[in-house]
Structure 1
Amino acid sequence: MKRIISILFIMFFGFANSLIAENDRSIKRISVGEKSSKITIIAYESLTCGHCADFHKNVYPDLKKDFIDKGLVRIEFRHFPLDIAAFNASKIGQCNNDGNADILNILFSGQKKWAKGTSPEEAKIYLKKFLKDEGVNVSFEKCLNDKAIEDFVLNDRIEGVKKFKVNATPTIIINDKKFDKALNYKNLKKYLEKLI
């Protein structure tokens, strides 16, 4: 009897894990670049993090021009929200489920306009107004209340801690190894050139 229960238990968890994996596959990862690129960068970011916004403004454009657009590098943006405002913004960034980084880039470029407020409700109001002002077309409340997207965002954060010991943002992982140098384009370029 114990053996039958053990087998059923294993089967149930195998089935549950496959459902979870299937659910994750239905939500597209935000990424830029060719899947066949030799180098994959994973960027763990919080949308309210000033250093992450700085990465998008001062590092990412050159990285895209010199490496991503040439098919050498692919970058995946993973969610690591540090507060409720970032958590809500991550859900918005993921909501159109097109794998496109456009909304993410808009949120980072206008971070100072929406990442404020003294309460979660006030932060939501600023975020909603910013999106409207920028002409971003998403179903705001539906996106914030989408359980699958919420789980996807939280699982990014959990995996970042477990797999890569992420404890700050931005954290850059290159081909499954944490990039430990100061995050500027000069250091990143030098590191990537050695891998090509």
Structure 2
Amino acid sequence: MSPRAARGHTLNILVPLAAALMLAACTNSGAPTIGGGPVATASATADGPAGYNPLTDTPDPTAGARQIIENPTVSEVLTPGPDLPEMSLGRADAPVTIIKYMSLTCPHCRAFHRDVFPQLKREYIDTGKVRFVLREFPIGKSSGTATIALRCAPPDKYFTLYAKYLEQQTSWVAQEVRLDAIFAVAQQVGVTRAQFDQCLQNQPMIDGLKRVKDRGRTLGIIGTPNFFIQSKRIKSTLTMAEIRKEVDPLLGGPSAATANAAPAR
């Protein structure tokens, strides 16, 4: 085989491998597909057994069975964790809150951010109708490491770095944790290497992220992306049509008027 042919053969192998690694962070064989598409389950991983693993999912053998809140109230859903500030966009007093549980390695999270979020922001967040909250639910070691870097960024750069990690997944998602590649993305919003390395050893912050994820599980979150619209749990990706269907009645909008209209005589 000629050198050029060999390079082409290698590229043909690496491209589907990279896609498979990202998909593993968002769905397993047999993972649930509900409504808009597949979601990642918490047992999925994009990384091998070796490497940095700050947010391990190893269960505590001394812990009892997890109590899942089957029908959480709005108050239970909206109550933030005790350790880390809630990261949100929109008016704090917006009439409707949408919460997205996300993993940075999940391609379905990336697709929602690319295809749905810009219109959601224009129609509902920027107009004061919806408060949009991101909660971290990292799946796999690479996602856990990038999530720590995300929290390491200045608060006003959080959503910018979140977008960069999603948009640049192919540059840093790999079978093993690639610290330099993960840092290279964080560096784009001003995070220094010293800050990055220090954050990877920030155990209180890491413990806080674990509690965010654990609280999500208690609320019935099974993977990413999962959403709450007020207290309604949605274990699937969302389209704009689905968002309008859920949100407009809460705002007294067109969907509510249609639902309350008298039947034609």
Alignment of 1:1-196 (within 5 A): 24=83, 27-96=84-153, 98=155, 100-116=158-174, 118-120=175-177, 123-132=178-187, 134-138=188-192, 139-163=195-219, 165-179=220-234, 183-196=238-251
CA 1:191–1:47 in structure 2 vs 1: closer, same or farther (change >3 Å)?
same
Secondary structure at 1:137 match in 2: coil
1:57-92 CA-partner distances (Å, limit 9, x unpaired): 111111110000011100110010110111111111
Deviation at 1:135, TM superposition (A): 4.7
1:161-196 CA-partner distances (Å, limit 9, x unpaired): 112x11120001111211256521221122111211
CA 1:96–1:28 in structure 2 vs 1: closer, same or farther (change >3 Å)?
farther
Q: Percent identity?
A: 25
In the superposition, the TM-score normalised over structure 1's length comes to: 0.79
**Cα RMSD (Å) of the superposition?**
2.0
- Partner of 1:5 in structure 2? none
Structure 1 CA distance for aligned equivalents of residues 210 and 151 of structure 2: 12
**Partner AA of 1:137 in structure 2:** V
Higher helix share: 1
Structure 2 CA distance for aligned equivalents of residues 81 and 181 of structure 1: 16
- Partner of 2:256 in structure 1? none
Structure 2 CA distance for aligned equivalents of residues 93 and 130 of structure 1: 10
Say how many residue pairs are matched: 169
List structure 1 runs of 4+ shifted beyond 4 angstroms.
Answer: none
In the superposition, the TM-score normalised over structure 2's length comes to: 0.59
Structure possessing the higher radius of gyration over alpha carbons? 2
Unpaired stretches in structure 1, ≥5 consecutive residues: 1-20
Structure 1 CA distance for aligned equivalents of residues 139 and 236 of structure 2: 22
Structure 2 CA distance for aligned equivalents of residues 161 and 143 of structure 1: 25
